[in-house]
Copies of this chain bind each other. A is one copy, B any other.
Amino acid sequence: MKIGIDLGGTNIKVGVVDGGRIVYKDSRPTNLAWSFERTVDEIVSLVKVVVEKAGINVKSYGTIGIGSPGLIDTVKGEVIYSNNIKWKNAPLAKELQGHLGVPIKIHNDAKVAALGEAVFGAGKDFKKSILLTLGTGVGGGVIKDGKIEKTQAAAGALFGHMSIDYNGRLCTCGRHGCLETYASATALIADAKAVMKVGNLDGKAIFDAYRQGNKAAKVVVDNYIKYLGEGVVSIINICCPDAIILGGGLSGAGDILTVRLKEYIKDKIFGAKHIAVDIIVSKLGNDAGIIGASLL
């Protein structure tokens, strides 16, 4: 049994994981106004509650893994920089280690979720898989042979920040045409609101309307498949994984998304006839981060 911590901009989640299955988990909200020290205290307190409820001493778990937003120095155990939780050179692993008395391993949250999916989720039959999360933004991770690809600062795999139109939509990163300005849930919902004239749309409502034959929804989803498809073809041409796993809120659309996407990309991949890349949806959903962290 292992402990995994998933630190997000919205919640801290801690789980006890046994063979890829969460046997106990708990979470509490993150407050972006908290200091680094306060956040550390909250994580420590939540870990202690979880291990107590699970009925085992924290030291018996060995190393604890944590996924954190931002650029990470996995060797020093620091969050180098996070735009999300506003830290700079925060010694997260060292502090947690001091409080919990066990070794702490840290990595980027998106890559940790990709690791969870690759090892115990939708990617487990594939040698090289990419998790592509379609949520507030577009994120992801590349996993090969059950390991996160090593890069400086745990960066890379920022698929949301590949531009699919250098003259296109302005991204929060300052560039134009980044994939996440077209293929995130946020972008899909904004595009749908512009034509469907419905106030309270979410991803599910858009795909439901599409399924029911709503014409405006069809236009929006057709465009969405094109945007996402263009990104996915380029990702395949560059990374050549054996599977792309769609995660994040929009992956709930399931077959609609995967069937339409496979159809869109099948002749566009370079050397398509000779390359086999499966397009599937996430199996672990929101638990991928905890399970991935437990594997660090």
Contacts and interface: CB of A to CB of B under 8 A. Distances in A.
Interface of A: 71, 80-81, 128, 144, 150-153, 155-159, 161-168, 173-175, 177, 226-227, 230, 233-235, 237-240, 242, 267-268, 270-271, 273-276
A271 B81 CA distance: 8
A155 B275 contact: yes
Nearest to A128: B151
A238 B240 contact: no
Contacts of A167: 165
A20 to B, nearest CB: 25
A165 B164 contact: yes
B81 A162 contact: no
B276 A152 contact: yes
Nearest to A226: B166
Contacts of A275: 71, 152-153, 155
Given A166-B165, A167-B165, A226-B166, A71 B271 contact: yes
B163 A240 contact: no
A125 to B, nearest CB: 14
A273 B82 CA distance: 12
A180 to B, nearest CB: 11
7 contacts: A155-B240, A159-B237, A165-B165, A165-B168, A165-B177, A166-B226, A175-B268
A230 B274 CA distance: 29
Contacts of A153: 240, 271, 274-275
A167 B173 CA distance: 22
A173 B269 CA distance: 9
A244 to B, nearest CB: 13
Nearest to A89: B274
B155 A270 contact: yes
